[in-house]
């Protein structure tokens, strides 16, 4: 284990030293917004004309150092390349208060959670590399148009986009999946499609008071969009239903510090299988017909608040967030989830843009799922002592994920985030040893 930890620290130290040794070079200057610079002034000229470009690369390294389903230590990498543009159509075409976005993404890599930490019969609910998932392929992740009306009190958006762009959105200060962004994509991912998957949708957000807004949307539910070879799917031929989310948000300043509080819900019209009952009212086992429901629903609560200001500087200080989901018990494996996180930005005067973060995320497995798993094992004459047998179905309970990290923002264009993660009962399986993981996130904006 000591050798593994040393390898991780060496990688981090090398990254920092390389950055510091090149300080005299403008390419690594600490106020450089883009690594590729201003393109001899052309980038600024294009932005003034309404064309803003987003070129970014993020890599997440993870190494298991103890515990998990398989404690044979390996080091894995997952990455994402983002190529995008935002268009100010007022500057380009004279369309007042109108913007558009086109973004293409490419994901690659290996998932440490799947390969070492989780039982392959169940998988885990979170991942120690949030950038991994939804296929290793090129995708059109954004293709939308947004219009603001009535002195910008009403915003209407149409096109291809991820649900969490406008609903159940949250911060991403961590490498662990459940501590990064929308929770619904992890707890009800069969109907809630997060980035980088995009679906055709339409939404509207109305700001009816200075601190209050209400949003509603409708999105296609099309499994074709999930397939690796259909990352640029533009048709709706295989649509199986609609996702209808609503959200109420409050954005106050408490003691002069900004916060955002949201309550929301969705209803999916796509048919969903019952997690326990069969068509005859009994408990289904593999190969039997499952009871089918006409829809699926969830409720969520999100809160994010700056708690303190460092020497009255609101760009520095302690921030906190809390996110909760409550899912349909008939069709959801995860009945509820809870996420709590804090991070302190600018703890050191010499590093005002760095932050220290601590987050916890917990999943509760639906008791109806456990009932079915236990029933199936009983039918086969198996109990917990037979866990090692291939035909045994692991019984799932709850899972806890914890991450402690330090975010080193060398400049707006270079970020390095070493972290240590702990997973208790991956996949909710009690027979799996708790796992410890060392991680390292690097991000470059070109």
Cα separation, 25 vs 3, whole angstroms: 34
State the sign of the Cα–Cα–Cα–Cα dihedral 281, 283, 286, 290.
positive
The alpha carbon of residue 292 and the mean position of all alpha carbons in its chain are separated, in whole angstroms, by: 29
Determine the pLDDT at residue 26.
67
Answer for the pair 68, 120: CB distance below 8 angstroms, yes or no: no
**In 3D, which of 92, 18, 341 has the Cα closest to residue 10?**
18
Answer for the pair 75, 94: CB distance below 8 angstroms, yes or no: no
Answer for the pair 174, 405: CB distance below 8 angstroms, yes or no: yes
Q: CA-based angle 419:70:388, to the nearest 5?
A: 145
Cα separation, 201 vs 245, whole angstroms: 11
Q: In 10 A of CB 25, how many CB atoms?
A: 9
Q: Which residue has the tokens 């070079």?
A: 25
Element (H, E) at 18: helix 2-21
The alpha carbon of residue 81 and the mean position of all alpha carbons in its chain are separated, in whole angstroms, by: 16
Q: Which residue has the tokens 């190529």?
A: 83
Virtual torsion, Cα 53, 134, 62, 65, nearest 10 deg: 170
Task: Report the SS3 class of residue 328.
Answer: coil
**In 3D, which of 34, 9, 93, 113 has the Cα closest to residue 423?**
113
Determine the pLDDT at residue 2.
42
Q: Does the N-terminal peptide bond of residue 335 adopt cis geometry, omega within 30 degrees of 0? A: no
Determine the pLDDT at residue 9.
44
Give the DSSP letter of residue 311: T
Cα separation, 216 vs 214, whole angstroms: 7
For the stretch 148-153, contacts whose Cβ atoms lie closer than 8 Å and that sit 24 or more positions apart, written own/partner, are 148/97, 148/98, 149/97, 152/97, 152/207, 153/206, 153/207, 153/208
Cα separation, 402 vs 121, whole angstroms: 23
Answer for the pair 258, 225: CB distance below 8 angstroms, yes or no: no
Task: Return the percent helix, strand and coil in the chain, to nearest 5.
Answer: 15, 50, 35
Tokens representing 244?
Answer: 């209808």
Per-residue pLDDT of the chain (446 residues; tens, 9 = 90+): 444 444 444 444 444 444 443 443 466 788 888 999 999 999 999 999 999 999 999 999 999 999 999 999 999 999 999 999 999 999 999 999 999 999 999 999 999 999 999 999 999 999 999 999 898 899 999 999 999 999 999 999 999 999 999 999 998 999 999 999 889 998 999 999 999 999 999 999 999 999 999 999 999 999 999 998 999 999 999 999 999 999 999 999 999 999 999 999 999 999 999 999 999 999 999 878 899 999 999 999 999 999 999 999 999 999 999 999 999 999 999 999 999 999 999 999 999 999 999 999 999 999 999 999 999 999 999 999 999 999 999 999 999 999 999 999 999 999 999 999 999 999 999 999 999 999 999 999 99
Determine the pLDDT at residue 29.
81
75-88 and 98-109: which strand pairing? antiparallel
Q: Which domains does the chain carry?
A: 2-445 (2.40.160.180)
**In 3D, which of 187, 189, 171, 191 has the Cα closest to residue 179?**
171
Q: What is the largest CA-CA distance in the chain?
A: 74
Predicted structure pTM score: 0.90
Determine the pLDDT at residue 19.
42
**In 3D, which of 321, 326, 405, 429 has the Cα closest to residue 128?**
405
Q: Give how far Cα 394 sits from Cα of 104, 373, 399, 431, Å.
A: 38, 7, 14, 9
Cα separation, 357 vs 350, whole angstroms: 18
Phi, psi values for residue 150, rounded to 5°: 50, 60
Residue 386, strand partner residues: none
Strand runs labelled E in 346-427: 355-365, 398-411, 414-424
């Amino acid at each position: 284990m000591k050798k593994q930890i040393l390898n991780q620290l060496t990688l981090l130290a090398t990254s920092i030293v390389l950055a510091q040794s090149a300080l005299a070079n403008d390419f690594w200057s600490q106020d450089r917004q883009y690594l590729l610079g201003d393109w001899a002034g052309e980038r600024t000229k294009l932005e003034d004309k309404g064309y803003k470009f987003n070129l970014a690369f993020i890599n997440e390294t993870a190494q298991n150092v103890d515990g998990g389903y398989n404690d044979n230590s390996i080091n894995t990498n997952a990455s994402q390349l983002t190529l995008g543009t935002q268009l100010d159509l007022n500057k380009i075409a004279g369309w007042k208060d109108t913007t558009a976005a086109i973004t293409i993404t490419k994901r690659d890599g290996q998932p440490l959670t799947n390969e070492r930490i989780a039982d392959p019969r169940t998988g885990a609910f979170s991942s120690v590399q949030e950038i991994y998932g939804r296929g290793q392929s090129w995708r059109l992740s954004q293709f939308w148009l947004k219009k603001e009306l009535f002195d910008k009190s009403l915003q209407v958006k149409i096109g291809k986009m991820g649900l969490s762009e406008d609903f159940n959105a949250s911060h991403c200060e961590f490498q662990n999946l459940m501590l990064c962004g929308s929770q619904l994509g992890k707890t009800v991912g069969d109907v809630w499609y997060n980035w980088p998957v995009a679906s055709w949708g339409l939404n509207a957000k109305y700001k009816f008071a200075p601190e209050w807004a209400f949003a509603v949307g409708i999105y296609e539910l099309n499994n074709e969009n999930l397939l690796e070879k259909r990352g640029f799917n533009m048709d709706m031929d295989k649509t199986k239903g609609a996702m209808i989310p609503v959200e109420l948000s409050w954005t106050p300043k408490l003691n002069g510090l900004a916060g955002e509080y949201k309550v929301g819900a969705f209803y999916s019209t796509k048919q969903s299988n019952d997690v326990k009952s069969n068509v005859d009212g009994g408990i289904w086992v593999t190969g039997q017909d499952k009871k089918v429901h006409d829809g699926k629903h969830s409720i969520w609560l999100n809160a994010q608040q700056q708690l303190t200001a460092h020497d009255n500087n609101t760009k520095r200080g302690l921030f906190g967030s809390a996110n909760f989901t409550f899912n349909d018990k008939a069709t959801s494996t995860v009945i509820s989830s809870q996420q709590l996180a804090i991070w302190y930005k600018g703890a050191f005067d010499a590093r005002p843009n760095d932050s220290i973060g601590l987050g916890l995320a917990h999943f509760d497995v639906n008791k109806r799922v456990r009932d079915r798993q236990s029933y199936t094992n009983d039918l086969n004459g198996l109990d917990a002592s037979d866990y090692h047998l291939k035909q045994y179905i692991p019984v799932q309970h709850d899972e806890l994920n914890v991450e402690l990290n330090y975010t080193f923002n060398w400049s707006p264009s270079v970020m390095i985030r070493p972290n240590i993660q702990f997973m208790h009962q991956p996949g909710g399986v009690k027979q799996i040893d708790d796992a410890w993981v060392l991680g390292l996130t690097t991000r470059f904006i070109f």
